[in-house]
Amino acid sequence: MTDPAFTILPETADDALAIERLNERTFGPGRYAKSAYRLRERMPHRPELSFTARIGTLLVGSVRLSPIRIGEAQALLLGPLTVEPPFRERGIGHALIGRAVSEAKAKGHRLVVLVGDEPYYGKSGFKRIPKGRARMPGPVDPARLLVCELVDGAFDGVSGPIRPDWSAP
């Protein structure tokens, strides 16, 4: 049997509950203690830079981007990224990352950061941030703090604390 095709669509207001449930099932209540979640709590994600994966009408995956700053530089925080377990290992995760990153680039953004596994996100162009150059507002394994430059050299000279971007339009 062949896999049913999936589609990647911009997130809409109607998706909020299904995404919340998907993230609850995937990460559990412990997610609120994570540094990335603490940032996202204070700075809502951007629906126009956030995407869902669907098979038919079923929501099977989600990725969100939120505006942050690293020092003075504007950037986006990617996450959470989640795919429903029965639908993993068929490219949905990478398709969600690819769509979010290309849409961010098309809208003029320069940097995307995240906390995650380098072997996975490296395939989508993310690289480890040199230790100490960017600081999350809580404990994070430095090997998991990654950045993707949407413009060549966009991370050159960027350093400092990672915090919500209150001035983002």
Ligand X SMILES: CC(C)(COP(=O)(O)OP(=O)(O)OC[C@H]1O[C@@H](n2cnc3c(N)ncnc32)[C@H](O)[C@@H]1OP(=O)(O)O)[C@@H](O)C(=O)NCCC(=O)NCCS
Footprint on this chain of ligand X (rule: CB under 6 A) = 26, 81-83, 88-94, 116-117, 119-120
Nearer to ligand X, 67 or 80 (CB): 80
Alpha helical stretches, state H, 30-139 = 35-42, 92-106, 118-121
Give the number of other Cβ atoms within 10 Å of residue 33's Cβ.
10
CB of 130 to ligand X, least distance (A): 20
CB of 18 to ligand X, least distance (A): 14
Nearer to ligand X, 67 or 93 (CB): 93
Nearer to ligand X, 90 or 105 (CB): 90
C-alpha span between 16 and 60 (Å, rounded): 13
C-alpha span between 72 and 92 (Å, rounded): 33
CB of 49 to ligand X, least distance (A): 17
CB of 82 to ligand X, least distance (A): 4
User: Which tokens go with 169?
Assistant: 């339009």
Nearer to ligand X, 72 or 121 (CB): 121
> Residues 142, 122: contact at Cβ < 8 Å?
no
Give the number of other Cβ atoms within 10 Å of residue 135's Cβ.
18
